[in-house]
Amino acid sequence: GFSDTNRFSIGILGLPGGRQAMTTTNMLWNTNQFFWDGRADLLRDQSILPIQDSLEMHETLPNVVAKLNNSPTYRNHFFLASGNSKITSGKISLALEQFMNSIISNNSMFDKEERGEYTYTASEQRGKDLFYTEYNAFFPATSGADCAHCHSGPNFENDRYMNNGVDSDQNRQDSGRAAVTGSAGDLAKFKVTSLRNVEITPPFMHDGRFTTLDEVVDHYNTGMNSSSTIDPALLYPLNNGGLQLTAQDKADLISFLKTLTDDVLITNPEYSDPF
């Protein structure tokens, strides 16, 4: 799923990172910076920061450029891509950006159903209805899970940074977007991620605290924490007894989420080991 099943990825020196690795599918449709906190404006900016991060690859760009320029194979690749065999950090970032932009997920059962090529099971259809129906504390019989408030559109995200109630102000371990903007209003806000292929990209949340989709759904159902920057759309159910999803509701919702798995992408030989 172009992610990491470890809670925190292990770098070149055996040290863990501080946040869960985000998937790199459908980056082409991200329009609000990159990383959990949005510290990279463009994908080409994001692509070279892990190279230099002391917890990840612990390298320098000059050293990487020198090593690649000493490789006839890579000089040939760059000549074919740009008409010039000289390798620079700028060319490296563009090459990585172009590759990541090619990783497109658009062939899941959800997509096939949208094209009339698949029919949902009863559980998947009910899960879809719950996903797109808004929460209503006063009419629980018709109340939904309200997922589309944040995970909307073809890519199932909203290009925003939001606090989804994983921590209270007192227990907050990560300042999130605020570390980039310097604004107290951004404390504990993180990039809203796409739900495409969510079934195969555990663990979940910015710190990988949840290992299963059941835990994720339980969090939104009854486990959210109030904080000063939690999104109002989540504060409403939090203050009214939670989403009140039954065991069957949760099972059906997860059935729908699994229709977002793109088996065509994850078995595509073009993305197998190139070496």
* pLDDT tens sequence across 256-267: 999 999 999 999
CA distance linking residue 94 with residue 100, whole number of Å: 10
The pLDDT, as a whole number, for residue 42 is 97
How many CB atoms are located within 10 Å of the residue 114 CB?
A: 12
pLDDT at residue 102 greater than cutoff 90: yes
The pLDDT, as a whole number, for residue 274 is 85
Helix (H) or strand (E) holding 75: helix 72-82
Question: What are the residues facing 34 on neighbouring strands?
Answer: 40
Query: In Å, how far from its chain's centre is CA 56?
Result: 19
CA distance linking residue 26 with residue 254, whole number of Å: 21
Computed over every residue of the chain, the mean pLDDT equals: 96
Rounded to 10 degrees, the C-alpha dihedral 153/155/159/164 comes to 90
pLDDT tens for residues 215-255? 999 999 999 999 999 999 899 999 998 999 999 999 999 99
pLDDT tens for residues 190-199? 999 999 999 9
Q: DSSP of 181-218, one letter per residue?
A: H--GGGTTBEEPPP-TTGGGS-SBSTT--B-SHHHHHH
pLDDT at residue 275 greater than cutoff 90: no
Query: Maximum Cα–Cα distance for the chain, whole Å?
Result: 68
CA distance linking residue 28 with residue 216, whole number of Å: 26
Q: Taking a C-beta distance cutoff of 8 angstroms, is the pair 208, 20 a contact?
A: yes
In the block, residue with structure tokens 């605290």:
209
Tokens of 93: 């970032």
Query: In Å, how far from its chain's centre is CA 45?
Result: 18
pLDDT tens for residues 140-166? 889 999 999 999 999 999 999 999 999
Q: Is 167 exposed, middle or buried (0-12, 13-18, 19+ CB in 10 A)?
A: buried
The pLDDT, as a whole number, for residue 140 is 87
CA distance linking residue 265 with residue 2, whole number of Å: 10
Average pLDDT over residues 168-182: 96
Residue in 138, 238, 231, 240 with CA at minimum distance from that of residue 177 = 231
Tokens of 132: 């797109």
CA distance linking residue 72 with residue 74, whole number of Å: 6
Rounded to 10 degrees, the C-alpha dihedral 84/89/93/99 comes to 50
Question: What are the residues facing 266 on neighbouring strands?
Answer: none
